[in-house]
Structure 1
Amino acid sequence: MTRPGLKIHVLAGLLVIGVLVSGCSGGEDTDTGPSEVFAADVCSEGLLSPDAVRALELLTGGATPFKPPKNVGDVAWVAGVLERGYAKIGASLGGTVCRATPADRMNYHDLSVSFEIEHESTRMGEHTESGKGYYWEYDLGRNALVLPDNGRLYFDCASDRLAGPDKSVPIKARVSLRQAPTDVDPRALREANLTILHSAARALAKEMGCKNNGNLPEQLVIKEKAAPTR
């Protein structure tokens, strides 16, 4: 004979198991986001101008669908990271604001955009790397160093969020491409990288409240300063 108390405990246990099973079953999908996105939506809102969106399409092999970005902050987030890092140690590794990963596994043209503030005592790369002759130099911001598969743009930010309105802090914007297309003219690839850098840097300069938008023009004018020497 089954004791009444035992029957109650068994029924309660079955109810708990039923709730757990229904919660783990695929009855209702909680992931309602898109399975793919395109160039206009792969980066955080406001980061890329229409010209920069077209540049991203060129660098990644055309009108390519991308995996939905994950673990990537927006412009407001990276501005906060830069601000807090600079307040603590006078530098910040910043973070990534765009990661464009093609949905096609055979497309290796992954692209990312990030920002950083290098410490004043250890700052390197802005001019020393160009002095080594590895990069094409462009007249944009403090300096712009670009190759077909990557680029760096240094621009001044005088802002209350950093060192105040009377002291400029160089911010580095970086674009990186895992593998550049081989069927596109290298000059077009360099200028596409520069277009993305200009748009992203302008967006961050606006968010940070940089004086004169970091001295970055509203419209990009591509002007070469120097070619690689090696």
Structure 2
Amino acid sequence: MLVMSVSVSGCGVDEPPPGPSEVFAADVCSEGLLNQDAVHALELLTGAGTPFKPPTNVGDVAWVAGVLERGYTKNRASLGGEVCRARPVDRKNPREISVTFEIEHELTRVDEQSESGKGYYWEYDLGRNALASAKQGRLFFDCASDRLAGPDKAVPVRANVDTLGPPANVDPRALREANLTILHSAARALAKEMGCKNNGNLPEQLVIKEKAAPTR
């Protein structure tokens, strides 16, 4: 018996080119998640021109929509998943951003009003309700969709953005509104992917309208 050893190196086998070592704000989230205003908002929160690590182990909008759909079918609630994580390449830059979605159980909705007016979040007229601070944002909207409970039953969806280490030299109001801008764009993208009736009643263009400031 003749035993042959075959090596593929140097034999004309093409290997895929390596991926980018860094990406920037326009490409750090999955395609279609952030509109141009949201890209600018991410740059405000992290620093313009900040290079990020290429995203890994983070699903795109279609993936997280599927997770929400399956979770709702099984449990009438779903933790969903992370659809964007912006991690700066420079380890000395602590300004990370994460965007996630979940479906709250319709009998609880525990967080929707729990922080309003309690000295932390500002409240905004967007979706069912929206809350934002310099470090976080929460957007609650209804999704009536064939992928969930059908076109005539609204299911409560929650979008979250969390910012680690927002810049201290930027007006806190601008930081709050940047978080809200990212939330609006991401939630609109998910609502379209899920087929939510009237896009979850989220406007195409964001109009920032405060409902209440936190009391202290």
TM-score by length of 1: 0.87
Q: Distance in 1 between matches of 2:31 and 2:20?
A: 16
Q: Distance in 1 between matches of 2:104 and 2:111?
A: 10
Q: Mapping of 1:107-186 within 5 angstroms? A: 107-186=93-172
Of 22, 33, 38, the match for 1:47 = 33
Q: Give SS of 1:158's match.
A: strand
Q: Distance in 1 between matches of 2:109 and 2:73?
A: 17
1:156 deviation in Å? 0.8
Q: Give SS of 2:185's match.
A: helix
Q: Distance in 1 between matches of 2:185 and 2:89?
A: 24
1:95 maps to 81
Give unpaired runs (5+ residues) of structure 1.
none
Give unpaired runs (5+ residues) of structure 2.
none
Of 53, 70, 79, the match for 2:65 = 79
1:112 deviation in Å? 0.8
Of 22, 26, 31, the match for 1:36 = 22
Q: Give SS of 1:198's match.
A: helix
Distance 1:142 1:149, change over 3 A: same
Q: Give SS of 2:55's match.
A: coil
Q: Give SS of 1:96's match.
A: strand
1:31 deviation in Å? 5.7
Task: Spell out, residue by residue over 1:46-72, the C-alpha distance to the aligned partner (whole angstroms, 9 max, x if none).
Answer: 000000000000001221111100011
Contact 2:23 2:54 in 1 (8 A): yes
Q: Distance in 2 between matches of 1:96 and 1:66?
A: 17
2:169 aligned with 1:189: no
- Percent identity between matched residues is 75
Greater helix share, structure number: 1
Contact 2:134 2:179 in 1 (8 A): yes
Distance 1:109 1:28, change over 3 A: farther
Q: Distance in 2 between matches of 1:171 and 1:130?
A: 18
Q: Distance in 2 between matches of 1:160 and 1:132?
A: 37
| Number of aligned residue pairs | 214
Q: Give SS of 2:116's match.
A: helix
Q: Distance in 2 between matches of 1:160 and 1:69?
A: 30
Q: Distance in 2 between matches of 1:183 and 1:58?
A: 11
Of 198, 203, 207, the match for 2:184 = 198
Q: Rg bigger for which structure?
A: 1
Q: Distance in 2 between matches of 1:109 and 1:133?
A: 23
Q: Give SS of 1:199's match.
A: helix
Q: Give SS of 1:128's match.
A: coil
Q: Give SS of 2:53's match.
A: coil
Q: Distance in 1 between matches of 2:215 and 2:117?
A: 9
TM-score by length of 2: 0.93
1:120 deviation in Å? 2.2
Q: Distance in 1 between matches of 2:19 and 2:93?
A: 22
User: 4+ runs of 1 displaced by more than 3 Å?
Assistant: 27-31
Which amino acid in the other structure matches residue 135 of structure 2? Answer: D
